[in-house]
Amino acid sequence: MFNKIFSPCCYLFTLTLLYWSKDNILFWDTVQFVGKHGGWYYEQGIFSGLLPQEMDSGHPPLFGMYQAMVWKIFGKSLATSHFSMLPFLLLNLMYAIKLGKHFLGARYVWFVLAFLLCPFYLGHSVLVSPDLILVTGFMICLYGVVSYKMGAVIVGSILLALISMRGFAVMGGLMIYQFWLLNKKEERMGLVLRKVSKCFGWGLGLFLLFQLWHYMESSWVGFHEDSPWSSSFGRVGLKQLVRNVLVFGWRLADYGMILAYLVIGYFLLKRESWREDLLPLLILLIGILGLLTLPFEGLLNHRYFLPVQLVALLLALKYLFAYRQIFSGLLVLGIALGNLIVYPPFLSQGWDATAAHWPYYKMEREMYVFIQNSKIDLTKVGTAFPLRTSRKHLDLGTSSTGYHNYNMERDRYILHSNIMNEFSDAETRALKYWLPMKTLAHRGVVMTLYERPRREK
C-alpha cells in the first residue's frame, strides 16, 4: 500500500513546489542564464547564433534558446519560465526512483527522499536553471550505464554535452565509468571500446562540433581574458590551492552532506566496502571536478557538485542497506535538516543550493513595493549580486530600470542582505552607522534598505 502512494506523493510534492515558486524572481546565476541569455534570443531571434561576447560564458547556449522558444509559444513571464522546468523536474524524479530501485530494491524510498530533500537539489529545484537539466542528463545516463541500456546513455550524454562545459566533464566521468563496468565483466577490449563509443559518440561529437563552431566564430574556447567572468578563471598559487582544497571539502560536506561522507568513510575502513561498484564513480567525479575547479580562483560553487552529491547519497544508503532502516531514515532526516543551516554574516554561503534562501522571494517583493511607495528612484539604490541589474532581467517584465552596483562612498541608499556575498565584513560593519529605513527578516534571511546619515549626504 505504501509503495502505491509513495511515488504519486513525490510527484505531487514536486508539482506543489513548482506552483509555489512560479512567480519567484530569477535568482543567483539564473539572472544571467534566463534573464539575459533568454532575453537576447527572444529579442534577436532564437537561431541568431552565439551570444554577444559580454554574455558568452563558453557554454552551449541551448538553455537560453530554450527559454526564448518557450516565451515565443506561451508568452514571456516568470510563470512560463518556471513551468518550462516541469519536464526535467519530473524526469529527475522518475530516474531517482529507477536508480533507487536498481541499487536499493524495496528501500528505494530512502534515496528518493534523500534526493528530493537534499539541500543541494531542493534549494535549486525552485530555480529556472540549466543545472536541473544537467541533473536530468546525469541521472538518465547513469541509469543507462548501470542497467546496460544504450538508448538511455545516448540521450543522457547528449543532454550533458549540450547543456554546459561542466556537463561534458560529467559525461567524461560516466564514459570512463562505463568502460570500467564493461571491462569488469571481462568482455574483450575491442568490444568494450565499441560499446562505449556507440553510447557516448553522439554526445562527444556534438560537443566537439559546438566547440569548433564557437572557435571559428569567436576565436576562443572556454573563456577569454575580456570575459566578465575572467577573474574566476585566474590561476591560483600554492597557498590559494591549499585553501581551495579545504573549501572543496567544505562544499562537499556542507548542508548536512557530511553525514553521507561519514557513512562512506566508516564503511571504507572495512575492506570489502571497496568493492562497491558506485565507489569508483564517486572518486571519478570528485577527481574530475576537482581538476576543473581547484586550480582557479572562483569555481567552487555548491551547484557544481550536484552529481557528486547524488552519487554520495546513493552510495551511503547502499552501504546502510544491510542494517536496520532506522539508520537510513536518520541519514535522510539529518540531510533534510541541512536546509535550516544559515551561517553568520561574515561567512559566504551558497544560497542557491539550500532551501534556506526561500524567504528571500517574498522579502524582495515587499522591499521593492516599499521603495516604490517611498518614491525612491530605483537607479539611486546601490546593491550587490543578484539584485544589481535591470528589473526585466529579474522579473522578465519590460522595465529597463533597476538597482546599480553599490558604492559606499557615493550612494545615498544601499539595499543589503545576507543573501549577498559581495559586501565585505568592513562594509557590513559600516552600514551599522547608516539609517535603516526598512528591515525584513525571516528564518535567518535578512534584508535592509539603508539611507546615508544626513550629516554625510
The pLDDT of residue 456 is: 54
347 and 425 Cβ atoms separated by less than 8 Å: no
The pLDDT of residue 57 is: 85
The pLDDT of residue 187 is: 73
| 334/220 Cα distance (integer angstroms) | 45
Strand duo 404-405 + 413-417: pairing = unpaired
Please name the residue that has the C-alpha cell 534558446. Answer: 65
The pLDDT of residue 188 is: 82
C-alpha dihedral over 131, 132, 133, 136, to 10 degrees?
Answer: 120
What count of residues does the chain have? 457
Q: Does the predicted TM-score (pTM) go above 0.85?
A: yes
* Per-residue model confidence as pLDDT tens for the chain (457 residues): 677 899 999 999 999 999 999 999 999 999 999 999 999 999 999 999 999 988 888 899 999 999 999 999 999 999 999 999 999 999 999 999 999 999 999 999 999 999 999 999 999 999 999 999 999 999 999 999 999 999 999 999 999 999 999 999 999 999 999 999 998 877 788 888 999 999 999 999 999 999 999 999 888 887 766 666 666 677 888 899 999 999 999 999 999 999 999 999 999 988 767 778 899 999 999 999 999 999 988 788 999 999 999 999 999 999 999 899 999 999 999 999 999 999 998 888 999 999 999 999 999 999 999 999 999 999 999 999 999 999 999 999 888 899 999 999 999 999 999 999 999 999 999 999 999 999 999 999 999 999 998 765 4
Task: Concatenate the DSSP letters of all residues of 27-80 into one string.
Answer: -TTHIIIIIIHHHHHHHH-TT--SPPTTT--SS-THHHHHHHHHHHHH-SSHHH
Strand order in the sheet with 435-442: 404-405, 381-383, 413-417, 445-451, 435-442
Q: Which residues of 323-343 are buried (b: 16+ CB within 10 A; e: fewer)?
A: eeeebbeebbebbbebbeebe
Judging by beta carbons within 10 Å of its beta carbon (0-12, 13-18, 19+), is residue 369 exposed, middle or buried?
exposed
The pLDDT of residue 435 is: 95
The pLDDT of residue 53 is: 87
DSSP-derived letter for residue 235 is: B
Strand duo 445-451 + 413-417: pairing = antiparallel
The pLDDT of residue 231 is: 66
